[in-house]
Amino acid sequence: MRLSIWRRITQGGGVLLGLLGVTGIGMTHILFPGLHCYACPWAITVCPVGLLQNMIVFGTFPFFGVGAILAYGLAAGRGFCGWFCPFGTLNDLLSFRKRRIRKAPSYGKYVVLVGTLVGAWALADTAFCKLCPAGSLESSIPYLILGVARVNRPFLVHMATLGATVVGMVLVARFWCRYLCPMGGILSLFNRVSLLHLRWSQATCTECGACEKACPMGIEPHHDHDDHNCIKCGACVDACSPGSLTLHCSPRRRG
Amino acid sequence: MSGWRNAAAVLVLLGLAVVAALPVAAQEKILSFAIEPAQVEVGAGERATVAVRIENASVREADNVVAAWTGPGGFLLDPAPQEIAVLAPFGSADLAVWILVPEDAPPGSVVGSLEFSYTYCIGDLCFQVFESRDVALVVRAPADVGLTEPTVPPSGQVPPSGQTQPSGRSATRAWIPYAVAAFVAVLAVVAAQIARSLGLRWPLYAVLLLATGGGLAYGVALGQHEQAQSIAAVLCTSCVGIEEAAARAPQLTAQEMTRIRAISEPVDLLVFHAPWCRSCPFAEALVEQVGALNARVGYRFVDVEREPEIARRYGVIQSGRTVVPAIVRLGVDRILFGIEDLESRLVLLLEEGA
């Protein structure tokens, strides 16, 4: 079976975990391995970015949060962006134009990440949450329907960031994940050590460039298969006719 | 390749250093102290009176505000100033301080300082803050009416009371574990880098796995998993941008005050809040004001983290999520969430059924 079909199944699993609260299960202690708002009425998992901000506001080192993020990072790195994160899935679904900007620098997500952490400290507030488009979609809109939220200035700010992100996603493939997502920024630090990883065989590669065309993140898998933007989605694996690129979930070989 | 790796390592290192440094910097002075007058003229054997205006400009509550005196020997606070047990968010207090000048004090100027200490908590973590303000006492000569030449206070004075803390600085002992953790992390990253330059990969994985296991285990030992759960289980309306936190005191209009005073039936309110909720102090202050206007309005503050079963019983829960701030009137099946237009919404709730 093609990887893309498996991926749709796990992405469905991510959405399911995100909304499992519908069944009446309350909040658990689990950190979500992606960007999913804990304020979502049906969330049963803790948003890592929200938790880190709160711990900074409390002035406590987030041992538990950092430990959990390290565990996710070691397991799959940005693989969660490609295979699990509901907001990543939305990026996938909206990026029907498949347009990519290959050479554009994409360090914006680190700026957002550092800005989020420093902002939480400087303002003693979860400032990023007030702008987060995932929060707009997953908590502002549901709470408006539930009657807790009203259309006020913070709500309109949320709608503006969501609108801008949606426009970006439609225009550029995986716009949010590639340029802005702080969670993607954290997980990308583990891309070179994660168990889930791409392997490339130089012997069979014909340098046809099919992987590069297929890649939603605009990287060149046959030149750098551990790039910080690689979400290990396997689009390049499906596209590679000689089979030079393969996806593995195992300890890495030396080299 | 290796350039990227080094850059990544530096990023991780920087991130760790920043996160480790944040808790230290997060401790703030939340109270301001103004002393009036800064210089007092007083005779030997008399008491100098100093008024201290203390203002709390933060959303946190300050506790156990205490004043002590550091200065030349023989000068005492007499009577000892009252301790302020609780200074509410956005609240202020006036403290009168009397400094008794010894009978044998030589004429001249003496500089001492009022040392204030107080505590405040953010969640489970509490800080003690020390601050000092200088006070100049001009001791009159027995027969002298005017000011005398100021003299330099004698050096090497011993503080009269058990003051062992350095003055004028926040007590920052809480940062030591973080500094140690950051130091260990830096050492580990450096060690892993050296190992990699020797062609070994496993030390990097050993460090990462140790950090993962250690972080999770120590976090659970500290109860941080419970903290994470409680942060996520309670929806603070101002935290995720459902409404704005009010950095102001509630303001009832004259008409609303009249309507509150006119309530003739007893009303009981429950005010649900969480310790880290930024808009909750506003709701609490408003209900306190209403209670002061009309004694028939009784109220109780409920910390949803400490008493979740009460929140459950009164339905302050929206599809599994406890929402704060929330105000419930006993016997009325309607809940006020958030703080937007809370003044007018609360008055309507109070008048319901009247």
pTM: 0.68
Let me know how many helices (H) and strands (E) chain B has, helices first: 8, 16
Measured CA to CA, the distance from residue A86 to residue A42 in angstroms comes to 13
Helix, strand, coil percent content, chain B, rounded in steps of 5: 35, 30, 35
Kindly report the backbone phi and psi dihedral angles of residue B313, in degrees, each rounded to the nearest multiple of 5, phi listed first. Answer: -65, -35
Is the link from the previous residue into B325 a cis peptide, with omega within 30 of 0?
yes
Report d(CA A94, CA A40) in Å as an integer.
Answer: 21
Q: Which of B22, B235, B272, B276 to mutate to test the interface with A (most CBs of A within 10 A)?
A: B22
Give dist(CA B250, CA B264) in Å, integer: 23
- Sign for the pseudo-dihedral over CA of B324, B328, B333, B338: negative
Q: Do B219 and A65 touch (CB under 8 A)?
A: yes
Show pLDDT as tens, one digit a residue, over chain A (255 residues).
688 899 999 999 999 999 998 887 888 999 999 999 998 888 999 999 999 998 888 778 899 999 999 999 999 999 999 999 999 999 999 987 666 666 667 889 999 999 999 998 888 788 999 999 999 999 999 988 887 788 888 999 999 999 999 999 988 889 999 999 999 999 999 998 899 999 999 899 999 989 988 888 888 888 888 888 999 999 999 999 999 999 998 888 764
pLDDT tens, N- to C-terminus, chain B (354 residues): 445 556 666 666 666 666 655 554 455 678 888 888 878 888 888 888 888 889 887 767 888 888 888 877 778 887 777 788 888 877 788 888 888 888 888 888 888 888 888 888 765 566 778 888 888 888 887 654 444 333 333 333 333 333 333 333 333 445 666 677 778 878 887 887 787 777 777 878 888 899 899 999 999 988 889 888 888 888 888 777 888 776 678 889 999 999 999 998 889 999 998 877 778 888 999 999 999 999 999 999 998 888 888 888 888 876 667 888 899 998 887 888 888 888 999 999 998 877
Contacts of B215 in chain A (CB under 8 A): 63-64, 66-68, 70
CA-nearest of B51, B31, B62 to B131 is B31
Rg (CA), chain B: 28
Tell if the CB–CB gap between A126 and B12 is shorter than 8 Å: no
State whether the Cα torsion B18-B21-B23-B29 is positive or negative: negative
Across the interface, whether the CB atoms of B232 and A43 are under 8 A apart is answered yes
Q: In what order do the strands lie in the sheet with B125-140?
A: B39-43, B125-140, B108-122, B62-70, B84-87
Residues 197-216 of A with CB under 8 A from B: none
Q: Within 10 Å of residue B166's Cβ, how many Cβ atoms?
A: 10
Residue A37 at interface with chain B, using a CB cutoff of 8 Å:
yes
Per-residue model confidence as pLDDT tens digits over B32-47: 888 888 788 888 888 8
Residue A179 has which token pair? Answer: 């340029």
